[in-house]
Structure 1
Amino acid sequence: MFKLSRRYLAWWAVAIGTAFLIVQVMCDLWLPNITSDIINNGVAKSNIDYIWHSGYKMLAISFLGILASGVNVYFAATQSQRMGSKIRDALFKKVSFLSNHEFEQFGDASLITRTTNDVIQIQNVMVMILRMMLQSPIMLFGASFMAYNKQPELTAVFLVSLPVLALFVGIVMFFAVPLFQGMQKKIDRINLVFREGLTGVRVIRAFNRDKFEQDRFEGANKDYTNTAIKVFTIVSFMFPIMTLIMSGTNIGIIWYGARLISNQTMQVGNLVAFMTYAAQILMSFMMLSMVFVFIPRASASAKRINEVLEMKNSVKDPQTPTALKDVSSTASLEFDHVDFRYKGAEKLAISDANFKAQAGQTVAIIGGTGSGKSTLISLIPRFFDPEKGQVLINGTDIKAMSQHDVHSQVSLAQQKSVLFRGTVRENMQYGNPDATDDQIWRAMEIAQATEFIHKDEDGLDAWVEQDGDNFSGGQKQRLTIARTLVKQAPVYVFDDSFSALDFKTDAELRHALREDAQIQKSVVVIVAQRIATVADADLILVIDGGKIVGQGTHQELKANNETYREIIDSQIKKGDQANG
């Protein structure tokens, strides 16, 4: 947690807040002394003027203490909240640039918990630190000093009460701290189950697994709830025990103080002041103990946050990135004997991938499920780095370019259609904020999306719900294809993004792609399952087991490649006669 504090706290503000906290504590320590003087010199001697004079002094000191406390609370609250805001920003930026491998190490649910609940734990404890943890030791030593000055003999009472309180706090921390640390992982589990239930709600209903998922969530929820009840029950014992110890301490002080008063070695006002200082000492000790109970949970959260912030990205920018070239008519994409394996895997996922395509060419990739098609194209926008070989865009190794420049050279439509909450225009301008309405409509015409957008009276201002839930699967695919085309790039990649389209729409879309002047200046890469989708490509890559087992046109592969013929035969047998 110290790392996060050092990085994200404004220490000048902490110093100012601490200065006002010291002023507040000094006022709190001064007030019992004035009360003692009022009793000893005013009440006991019937000196009304002294009582009024001291009363005004108490009001002034109280007002100063309230003012100092308010300023300290302001700085503690604002700095803890700003620290939380900065941590969330840092986490979001870090996650945005993590490679796929690092992202998958944590998982969606855990990253959400770390960005929300874990940060909240840091914020809450930081307020406690800036208030109680700084105030308690100052108050503890200050009150002890003042109490000793008032009546040294009475401080012997603390030799009994403080060890008892310390022992009890130690027992509470022993049982509570491990439970606090485990609560964050249980929140991860709740988020995971809840997220899966939300994203897979249609599958759950289709398989009539509502009861199973409800039981699964109830199990995770009960596990967290039972742990929380247990830990907060343990912590709640501190308050009644604290009250008991304070009451016992006051009894001891009154009993011993009464004897001193009867022996005329102590004044009544000193006894009242000493009791106030005793309460301050015990409360300070209690607050300090409470902070140390909650700090381990915040430390566990800080550790989880630092794991993300300090995660080293396997995909790094070079120290001196190669500048972008002018590729208005010379776009190209090349795989030069590329090998790739997932981290920790024994077997290569992609083995010796080697091909080249020029501007105006369409490269189609086809193969069985799990053959490595999506893995291969994930290397183009540098979501992963190859183990061996080079991926070159416009003749430049993408590892020599900054990731920002690589992404500017590639426009990608992924398998899963992802739309963002907003208008159609805002979604279309996601990759090209300066795109005009004419450019958007042109892209939508190519993607065969004008049919259902024109029907909406709002046109490009039509509303898109989260994840595009107000559109069908085919409509979402066409909108994501249009968004890909709005971004002008040397390389366009379509990762099985025609799968929800019927044959007629598929054919019209690919024909429009071939005829578009802007697309003719670029390399188009299409991953598909259907022969009909890839048949008219300039270069077809047949992948099997991570290897390119065939390259050529449809007719060449049909005549010479066994794997390609097997794909054709399997689709013809399924009644897909158009694929032949």
Structure 2
Amino acid sequence: MYRYWHILRKYRGSLAVCPLLVLVTVWCETVQPMYMAEIIDQGVMKRDLSLIAEKGTYMVLISLLGLAFSVANVWVASRTSIGFGTDLRTALFGKIQQLSFFDLDRFGTSSLITRLTNDIARIQQVVLMSMRMMLRSPFMLVMAVFFVIRINAQLALILVAAIPVLGIAVFVILKKGFPYFLKVQQKIDQLNGVVRENLINIRVVKSFVREDFETRKFTRSSEELKDTVVRASDIIVTVFPVMQLVMNLSVIAILWVGGYKVMEGELQIGELISFVNYLAQVLMSLMLLSMFIMTTARASASSRRIREVLDTTPSLADTPEGLTSRYKIEQGDIRFEHVGFRYGDGENDVLRDISFHIRPAETIALVGATGSAKSSMVQLIPRLYDVTAGEIRIDGIPVKAYNLRELHACIGMVLQKNELFTGTILENLRWGKPDASLEDVEEACRVAQVHDFIMGLGERYDTLLGRGGINLSGGQKQRICIARALLRKPKILILDDSTSAVDSETELRIRENLNRMLKDTTVLIITQRINTMQSADRVIVLEDGEVETIGTPEELLVTSRVYQEIYSSQQIPD
């Protein structure tokens, strides 16, 4: 837990008071058998009712005191563990926000969700148990052993001999079980991935009547998780029979030797009974300690997964120059200089030797066949990924020299997949500019040809959207995403096939409005529509990760084979 001290130190007051609370609680429990022995040996055997009443009263008062301190311990430990879990979850989520697309792809969405929920819950449970069981078990064990030695040192040797045997057995069993704990968490990742994929694509599943296939896939993943958990449980559950066997043998030995000593007059009946009670407390303390060790072993696998994220250095972050730079994008001039790019540890470059220059306020259409790396190329401009070769400059300054927040603030981007969030339309529109006025919002929506649609809704801009804008059509979502990007009034606007779900007439009006509103903005449009290409100042044609040609639409009709094929495919035959 020392690795989380930067979070736990916030609760150092609670961590300091818990041992005191546990110590008093344990003392109240372990002193009871001593009073019981006195009641039997001095009260019952000698028919002394006053002593029975006196010692009985002490036992009741001590029990109430122990109860009060135990409740206080539970309250303090619960609040501390819940607070720690919340803080750790917040820290992990904050770290995830800093990771690049490459880092997120490496971990996987379902795995990150498991780490934020299931893994943190396990560590939170360890904190709770540390403030209760981990303290309670050794305190009870030490105090119980102290009292049995006080009663009879020879009998205590039997108990002391049993403890190392139990410790070795628990250690061996847990060592064999630990590898399965990590596998269990990985299987939970896989199961979460299946569920997440199914729920996101539920409409496709139902459209193709593939519910049975998805059910079988889920069942297979669920069965794999069950089998892994069972294998881990089969190893761990052997702890308790071993403990029970050793302790039962100890009880038999103590009763045998203790009975002989009672008959010889070396031990009183009440002391033997209290000795057996202390033996039960030792058994309880060892069982609690074993449970804590098993929980900690499982949590250590979860902790390793959480630390893996927390200790990750984002593969894309502000450079030293970017951290101190005050550069701002003023013109929107973009230059690619022999740029190459590959994803992660991929063997092949998806972009090779890309060089071109886009002048300020120019509108550029990016075209090419599916898989020609158009989307990959535009994502390099705002540094969503870093180039693996060459350099990109904006206004003559390398993109790595810009502060990332400044870079992203001046570049508007409408991705190929339109993402909206649960909330009102207005909240979604203000996502990139929370302080935008309603007049600015309405102007952006008029440009994006979505204002009239919004005004026709019952709650207008306060209409609540479901998860991902589930209650909107594809074209409506695209236009809201365009308006959201326009609100930032970016110096560079990237539209990644963002009007594919919009009819041609609406797209034409959007383009005309964009030209009027963004006359000083550099615009890059990924498109497959020839009308959009022809409205651009120039067209960049990509083929298999390389620039095939660059030129005006008129020039490309003569010089570019790819552009000619696209143009011909969209002409209506006579």
Q: Determine if the TM-score, normalized by the shorter chain, exceeds 0.5.
A: yes
1:324 and 1:170, CA in 2 relative to 1: closer, same or farther beyond 3 A? closer
- Given that 1:444 and 1:450 are in contact with CA atoms closer than 8 Å, whether structure 2 keeps it comes out as yes
TM alignment of 1:124-139, pairs within 5 A: 124-139=125-140
Give CA-to-partner distance per residue, 1:310-342, whole Å, 9 cap, x none. 1121112123535445666x3433333322222
1:4 aligns with 2:9: no
1:402 and 1:67, CA in 2 relative to 1: closer, same or farther beyond 3 A? farther
User: Distance between the aligned counterparts of 1:207 and 1:293, measured in 2?
Assistant: 45
- Given that 2:174 and 2:297 are in contact with CA atoms closer than 8 Å, whether structure 1 keeps it comes out as no
Give CA-to-partner distance per residue, 1:126-181, whole Å, 9 cap, x none. 22222212221222122112211111121243266546645654565355434333
Q: State the SS of the aligned residue for 2:320.
A: coil
Offset of 1:563 from its aligned partner?
A: 2.7
Aligned length in residues: 572
User: Distance between the aligned counterparts of 2:396 and 2:62, measured in 1?
Assistant: 76
Offset of 1:369 from its aligned partner?
A: 0.9
User: Distance between the aligned counterparts of 1:208 and 1:327, measured in 2?
Assistant: 50
1:284 and 1:568, CA in 2 relative to 1: closer, same or farther beyond 3 A? same
- Given that 2:412 and 2:486 are in contact with CA atoms closer than 8 Å, whether structure 1 keeps it comes out as yes
Q: Name the residue aligned to 2:450.
A: 449
Identify the range of structure 1 (435-444 vs 425-434) with the bigger mean alpha-carbon deviation: 435-444
Q: Name the residue aligned to 2:371.
A: 370
User: Distance between the aligned counterparts of 1:409 and 1:352, measured in 2?
Assistant: 26
- Given that 1:176 and 1:293 are in contact with CA atoms closer than 8 Å, whether structure 2 keeps it comes out as no
Identify the range of structure 1 (71-80 vs 222-231) with the bigger mean alpha-carbon deviation: 222-231
1:337 and 1:576, CA in 2 relative to 1: closer, same or farther beyond 3 A? farther
Offset of 1:55 from its aligned partner?
A: 3.0
Name the Cα RMSD after superposition. 2.4
Give CA-to-partner distance per residue, 1:429-458, whole Å, 9 cap, x none. 100101111111111111111232121121
Structure 1 residue runs of 5 or longer lacking an equivalent are none
- Given that 1:421 and 1:467 are in contact with CA atoms closer than 8 Å, whether structure 2 keeps it comes out as yes
Q: Name the residue aligned to 2:563.
A: 564
- Given that 1:432 and 1:487 are in contact with CA atoms closer than 8 Å, whether structure 2 keeps it comes out as yes
Q: Which amino acid aligns with 2:51?
A: Y
User: Distance between the aligned counterparts of 2:56 and 2:231, measured in 1?
Assistant: 47
Offset of 1:377 from its aligned partner?
A: 0.8
Q: Name the residue aligned to 1:151.
A: 152
Q: Name the residue aligned to 1:22.
A: 23
TM alignment of 1:119-518, pairs within 5 A: 119-158=120-159, 161-162=162-163, 165-166=166-167, 169=170, 172-173=173-174, 176-232=177-233, 235-236=236-237, 238-239=239-240, 242=243, 246-320=247-321, 321-325=323-327, 330-516=331-517
Q: State the SS of the aligned residue for 1:521.
A: coil
Identify the range of structure 1 (25-34 vs 506-515) with the bigger mean alpha-carbon deviation: 25-34
Identify the range of structure 1 (281-290 vs 357-366) with the bigger mean alpha-carbon deviation: 357-366
Q: Name the residue aligned to 1:541.
A: 540
User: Distance between the aligned counterparts of 1:116 and 1:106, measured in 2?
Assistant: 15
Q: Name the residue aligned to 2:528.
A: 529
Offset of 1:255 from its aligned partner?
A: 3.0
Give CA-to-partner distance per residue, 1:519-561, whole Å, 9 cap, x none. 2232111111222222111222111122222222111222222
- Given that 1:332 and 1:490 are in contact with CA atoms closer than 8 Å, whether structure 2 keeps it comes out as no
Q: State the SS of the aligned residue for 1:295.
A: helix
Identify the range of structure 1 (279-288 vs 231-240) with the bigger mean alpha-carbon deviation: 231-240
- Given that 2:325 and 2:401 are in contact with CA atoms closer than 8 Å, whether structure 1 keeps it comes out as no
Offset of 1:370 from its aligned partner?
A: 1.0
Structure 2 residue runs of 5 or longer lacking an equivalent are none
Offset of 1:44 from its aligned partner?
A: 3.3
TM-score scaled to structure 1, two decimals?
0.92
User: Distance between the aligned counterparts of 1:419 and 1:471, measured in 2?
Assistant: 10
Offset of 1:12 from its aligned partner?
A: 3.6
Offset of 1:384 from its aligned partner?
A: 0.9
User: Distance between the aligned counterparts of 1:171 and 1:48, measured in 2?
Assistant: 51
Q: Which amino acid aligns with 2:363?
A: T
Q: Name the residue aligned to 2:59.
A: 58
Q: Name the residue aligned to 2:553.
A: 554
Q: State the SS of the aligned residue for 1:520.
A: coil
User: Distance between the aligned counterparts of 1:180 and 1:86, measured in 2?
Assistant: 24
Q: Which amino acid aligns with 1:522?
A: T
- Given that 1:337 and 1:352 are in contact with CA atoms closer than 8 Å, whether structure 2 keeps it comes out as yes
Identify the range of structure 1 (488-497 vs 560-569) with the bigger mean alpha-carbon deviation: 560-569
Give CA-to-partner distance per residue, 1:278-327, whole Å, 9 cap, x none. 11111111221222222221111111111111112111212353544566
User: Distance between the aligned counterparts of 2:553 and 2:277, measured in 1?
Assistant: 92
**Percentage of identical aligned residues:** 35
Identify the range of structure 1 (179-188 vs 339-348) with the bigger mean alpha-carbon deviation: 339-348
- Given that 1:100 and 1:384 are in contact with CA atoms closer than 8 Å, whether structure 2 keeps it comes out as yes
Offset of 1:7 from its aligned partner?
A: 4.5
Give CA-to-partner distance per residue, 1:388-428, whole Å, 9 cap, x none. 33323344322122222221111111000111111100100
1:175 and 1:346, CA in 2 relative to 1: closer, same or farther beyond 3 A? closer
Offset of 1:576 from its aligned partner?
A: 8.7
Q: Which amino acid aligns with 2:482?
A: I
Q: Which amino acid aligns with 1:548?
A: V
Q: Which amino acid aligns with 1:524?
A: V
User: Distance between the aligned counterparts of 1:446 and 1:173, measured in 2?
Assistant: 65
User: Distance between the aligned counterparts of 1:283 and 1:510, measured in 2?
Assistant: 76
Q: Which amino acid aligns with 1:490?
A: K
- Given that 2:122 and 2:299 are in contact with CA atoms closer than 8 Å, whether structure 1 keeps it comes out as yes
Offset of 1:387 from its aligned partner?
A: 2.2
Q: Which amino acid aligns with 2:159?
A: F
- Given that 2:327 and 2:402 are in contact with CA atoms closer than 8 Å, whether structure 1 keeps it comes out as no
Q: State the SS of the aligned residue for 1:392.
A: strand
Offset of 1:381 from its aligned partner?
A: 1.7
User: Distance between the aligned counterparts of 1:374 and 1:363, measured in 2?
Assistant: 14
User: Distance between the aligned counterparts of 1:290 and 1:426, measured in 2?
Assistant: 48
User: Distance between the aligned counterparts of 2:6 and 2:45, measured in 1?
Assistant: 54
User: Distance between the aligned counterparts of 1:538 and 1:111, measured in 2?
Assistant: 43
User: Distance between the aligned counterparts of 1:385 and 1:202, measured in 2?
Assistant: 35
Q: State the SS of the aligned residue for 1:487.
A: coil
